[in-house]
Amino acid sequence: MLLHLATSLQCRYIGTLGMVALAKKRGVIHSVHETLGRIQDAGLWVSESLVNEICRTVGEQ
């Protein structure tokens, strides 16, 4: 619903994984991999291939 509203208002939006990557780039968090692991533990399903891709994007191998 919020995504639909943001789109209809032509607002820029970012998802959960994008926020984690942005937090890493801005120095708010130290590890994307660790943070995504915690998010997965809380119940959000994220494929390991996507986790690996995001980690590569922000310079974590």
Number of domains in the chain: 1
Does residue 8 sit within a domain? no
Does residue 27 sit within a domain? yes
Does residue 24 sit within a domain? yes
Q: What is the pLDDT of residue 34?
A: 97
With cut-offs at 50, 70 and 90, classify the pLDDT of residue 61: confident
pLDDT at residue 2 is higher than 80:
no
Does residue 52 sit within a domain? yes
Does residue 31 sit within a domain? yes
Does residue 6 sit within a domain? no
Does residue 4 sit within a domain? no
3-state secondary structure the chain: CHHHHHHHCCCCCCCHHHHHHHHHHCCCCCCHHHHHHHHHHCCCCCCHHHHHHHHHHCCCC
Spatial CA neighbour of 50 closest among 33, 27, 26: 33
Q: What is the pLDDT of residue 21?
A: 96
Q: What is the pLDDT of residue 47?
A: 95
Give the range of the structural domain holding residue 47, as residue numbers without chain letter. 14-57
Q: What is the pLDDT of residues 4-51, one digit of tens each?
A: 888 898 888 788 999 999 999 999 999 999 999 999 999 999 999 999
Return d(Cα 52, Cα 50) in angstroms, integer. 5
